[in-house]
Amino acid sequence: MYIAQRPILVATCQQYFRRDYRCFPLSFCVNMTSFQAFLAVTAPPLPSLSSTASFPTRPNSVPQNRLCKFGVKCSYAEAGIRDDSRSATIDVVADVKSERVVVLGGNGFVGSAICKAAVSKGIEVISLSRSGRPTNPGSWVDQVNWISGDVFYANWDEVLVGATAVVSTLGGFGSEEQMKRINGEANVVAVNAVKDFGIPKFILISVHDYNLPSFLLSSGYFTGKRKAESEVLSKYPNSGVVLRPGFIYGKRRVDGFEIPLDLVWEPLEKILNATENFTKPLRSLPASDLLLAPPVSVDDVAYAVINAVKDDDFFGIFTIEQIKEAAAKVKV
């Protein structure tokens, strides 16, 4: 028996977790003396542990603000020897990816669904919108950092710090000039600010074109959306995501009241999906998709966004059918 002759491990570790330029120490001590009766060790004495080991880091092309770093220092001493600063140490440094998503227009109908889905998947969420925190019920609301602000005058240093992706739900109706500004210019400003800040992914909620004739697609709503799409795909050719849903339905809150749009549109979606093989030849007709394009659940749009956030190979333009497929991969 070699119990009395073998080193008894007394580990004292100090872990440093660094995030957003702050450090939080956590010290712990594990004393293995109570397990002496089980340490019948016949191996040679433990070697010196003074070397430093590092886990592989992510490629240099990934911005550092995508990573959380932590270090671990450990020391050991033989039985009967008091552990002190002269003990040999192990330094361990590892890079751990942590998702942090900024949702532009996060308190809107689509934006709040995205925030809720992201929280359910353990993703940290920041919302930027003019009215700030919404009145939606649910514990998920308390887990989102709601920032009030206008995308044209936003303090991007406050909004984007530590973000790994940005999702834009910006858009709306109004006069021609208003629609060009809301759907187009606002998103262009956001894309450029996000790109300059070094955020690796931008996701845009756009719109299906419904196979409309060109003179209808020249309206401020569609020209604004297409201008935003072009900016995303040019600035993020290998990571930009454009989702083109049709009509989006779900439980929508207006002035504190919930409107259950799903009661009508969900059955319609099922009917159109079931008859797709029969209606597909008709979808080549101009404006036919106004009647034949299936509506999309707001939850499907939200979970398709989550798929885009988590999957680095998810980029490009996604149609109604592809949005539903992407959502099915992460929806539980």
The residue behind tokens 């409107």 is 259
| End-to-end CA separation in angstroms for the chain | 54
User: In DSSP terms, which residues pair with 27 in a beta bridge?
Assistant: 14
Contact 227, 190 (CB under 8 A): no
Give pLDDT tens digits along the chain (332 positions): 434 443 333 333 333 333 343 333 433 333 343 434 333 334 444 444 333 333 333 344 344 444 444 444 444 444 554 545 454 555 544 444 489 999 999 999 999 999 999 999 999 999 999 988 888 778 999 999 999 999 999 999 999 999 999 999 999 999 999 999 999 999 999 999 999 999 999 999 999 999 888 888 889 999 999 999 999 999 999 999 999 999 999 987 776 677 777 777 788 788 888 888 888 788 788 888 888 889 999 999 999 999 999 999 999 999 999 999 999 999 86
Sequence-distant (6+) residues with CB within 8 A of 170 are 104, 105, 151, 182, 183, 186, 187, 190
Q: Residue 197: which of 165, 241, 240, 153 has the closest Cα?
A: 165
Query: So what's the pLDDT on residue 247?
Result: 93
Residue-averaged pLDDT of the chain: 77
